[in-house]
Structure 1
Amino acid sequence: MTLKYKDKIVGGNLDIGDWNSGDPDLTSLDFLQKFNISTLTLGKNANIQLKLSSQTITTLKVMYIFNINLDDLELDNLEDLTLINNKLVTTQTQSLSKFKSLKALNISINFIDITHIRNLSGLTKLHMELCDLKTIESIGSLVNLQDLNLSRNKEIDISPLSELVNLRTLDINDCGLKSLCAIRQLINLKGLVLSYNPISDVTILQYLVNITSLELMGCGLVSVFALRELDLERLDISYNRIVYLENLDLHNKRNLVDFQFEQNFIPNFDLVLTHKNYEQFNIFSFDQKEVEINAIYLAEWLRYVENANIAVKQISFKRKTLKQTVFNAKRKINAFLNQIQQNQIQFTTKIVQNIQRMNEQDSFQ
């Protein structure tokens, strides 16, 4: 057995996820001690009864195991344990209490009672995605948690989160949330994922002043005015109902490098632009109404972009729509072009020529 797996050991890591019934007995992996194994991955190992002890394997710190019974694991030194889709039962979650040194635990896609997790007071990272959780009272005492994922638990009560003031990252997307009151006190948060929750009012987020990364996709938002004081680096508000550019106030977002705004209802343009600091900045629309009105809104909004050295890679006004809404269109487009010049916004030559050519066509008369 030692020779069979020796060539799979890389840098203290051993992955024997392809074990099957034809392989040697893996009941005891004491031979790992000879190779100073620190990380062990055992996947697709149905019905294995492992008997491991920290007395014989002192170097093992990280385990990724699937479909394995936990009852015979006595690993006091284990710090990181992943049990994704492990078909855990309640008796096995009781066994988790034995891992006193655990700092990171991932039990996602297991439909279990998490009561005994409260005994893992040293946890700093806990992932419980898609666990059909209804209550999380047992984690309210885990005050050392810094990274928590509770996503896709659709009927969960998140009120105990108010106690976890040391959280740095929190993922509670697709949890059926309608209120964010429970997270108002989490002022140390830096990363927050709230996507696909019906939380049209995000006023509470203004109190989370340390957030730098925020995801709010598909929340039914019509405005992000409450975010105006947050010093964000990443923001995703795609698939909402933000109709007016004046509701998209990002003029003080000097550190914003990744902005996603896809599939909202800004009516008149498709725009992809990059700023000196931006890595990604996308705005896409699909509702083509009131073109002439929002042309000037676009120019006004661009005026607030810091450092005003912008290259617009794509901009289009729908000619067919312009014919249907000709009132003041030419004046609006001229005003837009004047804003570009006044604010020293640099478009690629081809783009400017295209806009000017469109402005001269009959559809603007």
Structure 2
Amino acid sequence: MEQFIENDQKLVEKYHKRMQNGFLNIKNVQKHFSIAFLSNLNIKILSINNCRNIIPILTCGTTTELNLINCWFQDINGLCLENLEVLNLSENKLSSLNVNKFQKLRQLDMSKNELTDISFLKDLSSTIFVKLQLKYNKIKDIQILTSINSIKELDISYNYGIDINYLKFMVQLTYLNIARCGIQSFDVLKSLPNLEELDVSYNKNIDCKTLENQLKIIQFSAKGMKIENINKLLLFSYLSELNLSDNNDNNAIDQSIFQLSIQFTKLSFSNNNLNNISQINLINIQYLDLSYNEGIDLTPLNIMARLKHLNIRFCKIKDLFAIKDLTNLEELDIAYNRDIDISGLKMITKLVTLKCDNNNIQNIQVLKYLVCLKQLELAGNEICDITPLQHLTKLTKLYIRDCVIVDISPLESLINLEQIDIARNQIIHISSIMNIAKLAELYINNNKISCFKDIQDHLNFEQFIICGQYQPTSIEILLSNKMKLIFIKTTQLKEIRLKYNDMRIKCCYVKQKQSLQLQKLSICHTSLTNTVVSLFNSLSNFEQQQ
């Protein structure tokens, strides 16, 4: 059973937990708050964010995966979980770790800590340990890693000035990320013949001659760099994914790359000052990112019959007629193209995801033809009439915040909606969406909703959250609603989120408590009385007994 409870940092008690099929997620746990209930749970995967007290974790002996993220730990040597296979300690203050206590460990993430000396890693198993992530530290010397000959995946990116020469002894590596390390020479890569994924982004430059032995490379990323002898990539017969984004200052995209484009299925040329792509062979490409290339000519895209994912946000595109024949497109991102004419979407009827935020759009009539859409993002437009959306019955996620919508009645026919974001509009009544049975997340803050009488099921509470026939699995009440009373009648509710409520919540009444399916309760930036906190605690205890 999943559970989730979160309070604002100003509150005395603040915790956030989630448990489902042996998975528990806890966030924002203050050091003075007890989470001793952990010792009684059979937890396989435990994730804890922003926690200050790990004592109860010491007893979770069944845990095989532990994520202690952003907890500011400086020392966790008291932690001893002999069955751990995956350990994530990212975003802490650790400078060392007693890994000798984790003999079954296969994966370790110590990114964003204060590591300078990693000699403590010598005690890692040299037979079963396969994945190590150490990005965003201050590591210079990685010689100790040569003794762990089982490592296949290594991420040491964002360790500026690190000496990568010892990588030549790690011939077993299949994945390597050395982005933004201040590397001057990549000659060491000649000694790594088994690499399949390589990221050298944001270093000074790279000569592709150093990659001549990398015949197994499938994915190559060299963002923000000057690239020499790019034609050497022609030797990579398996190379299918290439990312050369953010090279607008280096003139990295030369004509040589167009010679091998026929073999690619995924290309990323974001932010490269590209305006002419006519020489790229686009026949086999399924994923193409051309975002942040202002004024790019999209006409050559009309031959991309296999293209499924296209990103052209921030390109100052005026219309979409150049891509109207891309009938196999499933995902399209055209956000932040001001004053764009979207009528060209009419024939792209296989779209499953459309991102069209911040485009000054007023008329969305063309969207009625996109009947396969499951996710639609229209936030930050000038949309008032959403009638065309009533035809999109496959929609599961709809984001139309920051528009000028008043009437949301067209949404009542969208029976598959699970997430709705209609925040920051002019909406007064939300009764039209109250019978959407699959609704799991609802964002309604900053509207003109004066009360919830539309969904009160004839109750007398003016301040109200969930009851009666309104039975989504999740609801979020924000900002202007100023809840004082909580009444929970439905037994279907699995998640409640209260945020930014100015008035102190004084009462919480739960009908049929023993039947309540509440799994997730989030309370943020909201004042609670001890009575309400105790009630939430009792709900948690009850669920643990299930």
Query: What SS is found at the alignment partner of 2:322?
Result: helix
Match of 2:405 among 242, 258, 264: 242
Map of 1:38 onto structure 2: 196
**C-alpha distance in structure 1 between counterparts of 2:321 and 2:309, whole Å:** 17
Asked if 1:48 corresponds to 2:206, the answer is yes
1:171-226, Cα deviation, whole Å (9 max, x unpaired): 00111244222111001110001111122111111111111100000111112111
CA contact (8 A) 1:273 1:314 kept: no
Aligned length: 315
RMSD, matched Cα = 4.0
Q: 1:14 aligns with which of 170, 176, 179?
A: 176
- Mapping for residues 154-165 of structure 1, pairs under 5 Å: 154-165=316-327
Provide the TM-score with structure 1 as the length reference: 0.73
Offset at residue 5 of structure 1 (A): 1.9
Aligned to 2:295: 133
1:279-318 to 2 correspondence within 5 Å? 279-287=440-448, 308-310=470-472, 314=477
Superposed CA offset, 1:335-361 (max 9, x none):
xxxxxx9x9999x994899xxxxxxxx
AA matched with 1:141 = I
Residue of structure 1 aligned with 2:222, choices 54, 57, 65: 65
Unaligned 5+ segments in structure 2 are 1-162, 458-468, 483-488, 497-506, 512-546
- For residue 249 of structure 1, give the secondary structure of its aligned residue in structure 2: helix
1:196 alignment partner, SS class: coil
Partner amino acid for 2:232? E
- After superposition, the C-alpha distances for 1:50-103 in whole angstroms (9 at most, x for unaligned) are 31566x322011011031315334224210011121126778342221223111
Conserved? CA contact 2:240–2:266, under 8 Å: yes
The aligned counterpart of 2:336 is 174
Paired letter, 1:243? V
Sort the Cα spacing of 1:103 and 1:183 in 2 relative to 1 into closer, same or farther, 3 A. same
CA contact (8 A) 2:438 2:472 kept: no
Displacement of 1:141: 1.4
Q: Please list every run of 5 or more consecutive structure 1 residues that lacks an aligned counterpart in the other structure.
A: 300-306, 320-340, 354-365
Equivalent residue number for residue 338 of structure 1:
none
1:113 to 1:250, Cα distance in 2 relative to 1, 3 A: closer
Residues 141 and 90 (structure 1), Cα distance of their counterparts in 2 relative to 1, 3 Å cut = farther
1:195-344 mapped onto 2 (5 Å cutoff): 195-230=357-392, 231-244=394-407, 247-267=408-428, 277-287=438-448, 308-310=470-472, 314=477
Indicate conservation of the 8 Å contact 1:94/1:116, yes or no: no
Shifted more, 260-269 versus 104-113: the winner is 260-269
Distance change (3 Å), C-alpha of 1:6 and 1:265: farther
Percent identity between matched residues is 20
The equivalent of 1:74 in structure 2 is 232
* Aligned partners of 2:444 and 2:477 also within 8 Å: no
Aligned pair in 2 of structure 1 residues 313, 208: CA closer, same or farther (>3 Å)? closer
| Residue from 132, 148, 164 that aligns with 2:310 | 148
Structure 1 SS opposite 2:367: helix
Tell me the SS of whatever aligns to 1:51.
helix
Q: State the 1:278 CA deviation.
A: 3.1
Distance 1:296 1:101 in 2: 57
Q: Tell me what 2:56 maps to.
A: none
> Which residue identity does 2:208 align to in structure 1?
L
Q: 1:268 to 1:2 in 2, by over 3 A?
A: closer
Quote the Cα distance in structure 1 between the aligned partners of 2:377 and 2:186. 43
Residue pairs, 1:97-116, within 5 angstroms: 97-99=258-260, 100-116=262-278
